Amino acid sequence: MKNSPLLGKFRKPDGEPHMLGAMQRLTGSMRKYSEQDEVDYVVVGVGAGGGVLTQRLSRAGFRVVAFDAGPFWDTERDWVSDESGSHKLYWTQKRVTGGTHPLAFGSNNSGQGVGGSTVHWASFTPRLHPSDFQIHTLDGVGVDWPISYSDLKPYYELMELELPVSGPAYFPWGDPHGYAFGPHPMGGVGNALIKGCTNLGIEVSAGGPVAILEGSRADRPHCIYRGFCIQGCKVGAKASTLITHVPDAIRSGAEIRANCMVARVNLGRDGRVRGVTYFDEEGREHTQKARAVVISGYSIETPRLLLNSACPGFENGLANSSDCVGRYLMAQAGNVVLGRFGEPVRMYKAPPAHALTEAFYETDPKRDFARGFAVQTVGPLPIAFAKQMMVAKGAWGWGLRRVMMDYNHWAGFGFLGEILPHAENRVQLADETDGFGLPVAKVTFGLGDNDKKLTDFGVKKTMEIMSAAGAEEVVQEQRYAHLVGAARMGKDPRTSVVDQFGRTHDIPNLFICDGSIMPTQGSANPGLTIMALAARIADYLITQGADIFTSNERSDRISAIRRELAPPDTWGHGMPRIEAPVQPVSS
Amino acid sequence: MTRDLLETGESLPPADDAATLKRDAEMADLHIREGRFQRWLALAAGLSSVLSGLEVSYEHYKGSYSRPVMYTPVILSGTLALAGVAGFFSRRSANTLLPAVSAITLADSVIGFYFHVQGIRRKPGGWRLPVVNIVMGPPIFAPLLFGTSAYLGLVASFLRRGDDGGDVVPRSASKAHWAASLSGMHETIDAGQDLREGRFQQHMVAATILASFLSGFEAAYSHYKNNFRYGVQWTPLIVSPMLMAAGVAALKSKRAAHTVLPAVSALAMLNGSIGFGYHVRGIFRRPGGSKKLLYNIIYGPPVFAPLLFAASGFLGVLASLLRREE
């Protein structure tokens, strides 16, 4: 008693609850299906797309098993606030990369484990601009989407509430809009971006849009600006589907089958898929029967799974009669521009994502290239910074040591430029195999003429902004960010893999729901768009009901947006922006 | 000069002017001493409510209005501002609408205090890490300070208007004031009698001490958050205890209430005004300055907070002009 603290003890862990962030506990048990059960949907991959889709389908009453190749994180026990200790969050399995501009994989574009890349995204969540949906019509480059901005707009608005997204009350670019959660305070890098932009007369958005809580919401605390966003936010302030949608999916009766690597999708004699074959944690092979399958593995693993599922009738890969599976892979030019300031900047403080400008987003006839770019804040921690300095300045040995001692004086801006879709940028199967004996992905990537001009111009402009902010030395590292494409959607089955609802043109009960269906990428971070597409696909599947499982007929019928499918915590917080559901569904 | 003014007929000669001013000042002093300043206190309550309303609007915006209850002070401060202005023009409003809105706002500020305490408790470590969580959590005493204008409104509702007759009991107050009867603290036939007659100096001094403590505490940890980067940030921490001490002295001694209390109170008002200037300067010195004005008001130094500190000085000055309870 003598040693008991004055105001009571810290809370003791009772029965070791599964924690999602500092405050959210996963209570209750998860439903388990047996392999003999023919479930309604198997979802392969629980990331941005798969997480939202699983939550929607199970809330609507479907029986869903969602697979993920990685673990189901308990954020309090599994995550650390350490840069090198967080490498297990990334998909670091073997991949072969090549082409004229080979992509690097891992921290910046691929996740594994429940939540997928949203676990380690910086969580910038801008929308695409209306022009992004028709760049072929407007600019004569790339390809048009089979849908328009107005199809996706209500889903953008809804996802911005579900995550929720913090940002300014008025965001001026694209389709101007405001955010229900307020903007974040600036860190040193955000201040530099604001200074640089205002000095040059460029409009700049301060404090978002970013899917990090500004103000706590229900059982998720607000951001504490510790800067470990892309190492997995232990606080639970940064949105990831792991903490925003998966808990509601489990409460609604979905099974999340973690640590299970899906090897192939099984096709029946009737030309419809029957389920998936997968390896469990111990490497044993299992089969799960399902009435429909949704692949949400992102731009490398989705085409890899389709190609690995080749079978009689689909010798070139499942749903690949168009030869588009794996093609039109895109990454955004993501050069990092670093500037040294006389005053300390301390870019590790505050989220890396907190200010941006989209003033250069649209095609400008005065420039000699189509489309545009965004400039955003980044906040590399020391290991990432060391790598960047190695590339940008050739720093090595004692020189690198000296640069690293100077870390507090540097600020980083991320250039984010649109790279157009090219058929020769693609994912194929390599000769090598992974631990399960499955052929790994071989990725070929190169830049076109427009891409190079855009990058040159944009990097120069970003460096100008850095100088205008007062940097005395400005350097840059070439890099790529965000993957999309490789199973694109379109109206024509000869040039695309899926239709506007993610339904493969070849197989009526096989769907794709992730970033790989995006035909072009804009220069917005793709996360919010992937989630909005997933919510729209879910609305379609729910509208179609059992027809998906029994009929080969294709209908384009989709109901009005179902706001009642949002997790219940969505409502009653923030500034009113869109109307709440008239009749919320009781769980 | 004088001739010019006379010729243009724009002003009275300075001698008369000074006399009028002196007479007006004596009149005002008498009115306050006798509790005949309902109109002006109602107006002061309304205007201060505008300031605290603006303050709470952007502070809660910073918290993204993540609970619906966070809207209540925004709505109430607007309502109180209207009620205060209405009370300036209409006796009826001052005696009915103003005390009702003030009482609700005062209750809301106590409820807000509860939520802010809960907000601190909810943070990791809760009250086990009081220093960290008070500094980083919701501003603990801000809701109570928000109640200052409601308190003024409530006091105003008891007072007499300047044109009321010399009766101790005004026409409208033959029945006990309902708000006073709620408090149930008097056994006299008329609960609001002391207030109406301006006999509540010690009461107002107590309010001054409380407001001074609350705003001084807020200034202390807010400036601590900024590491007292500017020397001037220490001044409210010095003035606030001084005002509290002067208040304690004034509680005991009538003499102190008429000497040291008004002096220190005026100092607090001056300090708050200077602080307001510094806070405005701080906003313009942020990156983007006036080009990102709204954003910089939200995340710059809290622009109206020093004026809330000055408000505690205002209470002190007011107290010094009143008569003591019998």
Give me the residue from B128, B287, B298 closest to A5, CB to CB. Answer: B128
Tokens of B233: 């940030």
Within-domain flag for A402: yes
* Best CA proximity match to A535, nearest among A171, A245, A166, A212: A245
Give me the residue from A7, A186, A574 closest to B299, CB to CB. Answer: A186
pLDDT tens track for A373-415: 999 999 999 999 999 999 999 989 999 999 999 999 999 999 9
* Contacting A residues, span 203-222, partner chain B, CB-CB under 8 Å: 204, 206-207, 213-217, 221-222
Residue spans of the domains in chain B: they are 19-164+193-198, 199-326
Q: How many CB pairs under 8 A join A and B?
A: 85
pLDDT tens track for B83-98: 999 999 988 888 899 9
Tokens of A149: 């901005």
Are A222 and B124 inside 8 Å of each other by CB? no
CA distances to A287, B6, B21, B22 from B18, rounded to whole Å, are 99, 16, 5, 6
B chain contacts of residue A166, beta-carbon cutoff 8 Å = 64
Distance from B64 to chain A by nearest Cα, in Å? 5
What's the pLDDT band for B324 if we cut at 50, 70, 90? Answer: confident
Share of chain A above pLDDT 90, in %: 77
State the amino acid at position A163 in one-letter form. Answer: L
Q: Does B290 touch chain A (CB under 8 A)?
A: no
| More confident of the two residues A539 and B287 | A539
When scoring B66, B225, B285, B290 by the number of chain A Cβ atoms within 10 A, the one with the most, hence best to mutate, is B66
Picking from B91-100, B120-129, B156-165, which range would have the lowest pLDDT averaged per residue? B156-165
Identify the pLDDT of residue B23: 76
Chain B residue with CA closest to A207: the answer is B295
User: What is the distance between the alpha carbons of residues A522 and A527, in angstroms, rounded to a whole number?
Assistant: 12
Are B130 and A186 inside 8 Å of each other by CB? no
For residue B166, give the DSSP letter.
Answer: S
Decide: helix, strand or coil at residue B251: helix
Distance, first Cα to last Cα, chain A? 44
CB A318 within 8 A of CB A267: yes
For chain A, how many structural domains are there in total?
1
Half-sphere exposure of B86 (CA within 13 A, CB side): 18
Identify the pLDDT of residue A580: 40
Identify the pLDDT of residue A524: 95
Burial A479-514 (b: 16+ CB within 10 A, else e): bbbbbbbbbbbbeeeebbbbbbbbbbbbbbbbbbbb
Q: Does B64 touch chain A (CB under 8 A)?
A: yes
pLDDT tens track for A66-81: 999 999 999 988 888 8
CB A50 within 8 A of CB A294: yes
Interior angle at CA A525, CA A480 and CA B292, nearest 5: 115
Picking from A96-110, A192-206, B202-216, which range would have the lowest pLDDT averaged per residue? A96-110
Mean pLDDT for A78-106 is 87
Tokens of A124: 């910038």
Q: Does A226 touch chain B (CB under 8 A)?
A: no
Mean pLDDT for A470-479 is 94
**Which positions ≥6 away from A556 have C-beta within 8 Å?**
A500, A501
CB B189 within 8 A of CB B134: no
CB A247 within 8 A of CB A46: no
When scoring A200, A204, A377 by the number of chain B Cβ atoms within 10 A, the one with the most, hence best to mutate, is A204
State the amino acid at position B11 in one-letter form. Answer: S
Chain A residue with CA closest to B129: the answer is A7
Q: Taking 90 as the threshold, does the pLDDT of residue B17 lie above it? A: no
Alpha-carbon torsion A145, A149, A155, A157, what sign? Answer: positive
Q: The domain that contains A228 carries what CATH number? A: 3.50.50.60
Give me the residue from A22, A182, A213 closest to B124, CB to CB. Answer: A22
Identify the pLDDT of residue B165: 55
User: What is the distance between the alpha carbons of residues A523 and A128, in angstroms, rounded to a whole number?
Assistant: 8
Identify the pLDDT of residue B190: 52
Q: Taking 50 as the threshold, does the pLDDT of residue B187 lie above it? A: no
Q: Does B66 touch chain A (CB under 8 A)?
A: yes
Distance from B29 to chain A by nearest Cα, in Å? 46
What's the pLDDT band for B198 if we cut at 50, 70, 90? Answer: confident
Are A7 and B130 inside 8 Å of each other by CB? yes
Q: Taking 60 as the threshold, does the pLDDT of residue A586 lie above it? A: no
Owning domain of residue A529: 35-568
Q: What ipTM, to 2 d.p.? A: 0.72
Identify the pLDDT of residue A585: 35
Identify the pLDDT of residue B74: 95
DSSP string, A40-90: EEEEE--SHHHHHHHHHHHHTT--EEEE-SS----HHHH--S-TGGGGGGB
Chain CA centroid to CA A489, Å? 18
| More confident of the two residues A27 and B210 | B210
Q: Taking 60 as the threshold, does the pLDDT of residue A5 lie above it? A: no
Mean pLDDT for A347-361 is 93
Q: Taking 50 as the threshold, does the pLDDT of residue B36 lie above it? A: yes
Are A182 and B292 inside 8 Å of each other by CB? no
Identify the pLDDT of residue A504: 96
What are residue A477's phi and psi, to 5 degrees? -120, 130
Are B127 and A207 inside 8 Å of each other by CB? no
Are B64 and A213 inside 8 Å of each other by CB? yes
Mean pLDDT for A353-361 is 94
A229: exposed, middle or buried (Cβ count in 10 Å: 0-12, 13-18, 19+) = buried
What's the pLDDT band for A43 if we cut at 50, 70, 90? Answer: very high
Chain B residue with CA closest to A576: the answer is B65
User: What is the distance between the alpha carbons of residues A419 and A450, in angstroms, rounded to a whole number?
Assistant: 8
Identify the pLDDT of residue B13: 52
Are B64 and A575 inside 8 Å of each other by CB? yes
For chain A, what is the mean pLDDT? 91
Identify the pLDDT of residue A412: 95
Tokens of A543: 């509208």
* Best CA proximity match to B12, nearest among B25, B21, B26, B27: B21
Q: Taking 60 as the threshold, does the pLDDT of residue B11 lie above it? A: no
Q: Taking 90 as the threshold, does the pLDDT of residue B159 lie above it? A: no
Are B62 and A180 inside 8 Å of each other by CB? no
Are A181 and B64 inside 8 Å of each other by CB? yes
* Best CA proximity match to B204, nearest among B154, B162, B277, B273: B154
Picking from A479-488, A511-520, B286-295, which range would have the lowest pLDDT averaged per residue? B286-295
Are A207 and B295 inside 8 Å of each other by CB? yes
Mean pLDDT for A182-200 is 92
Distance from B70 to chain A by nearest Cα, in Å? 10
Identify the pLDDT of residue B160: 80
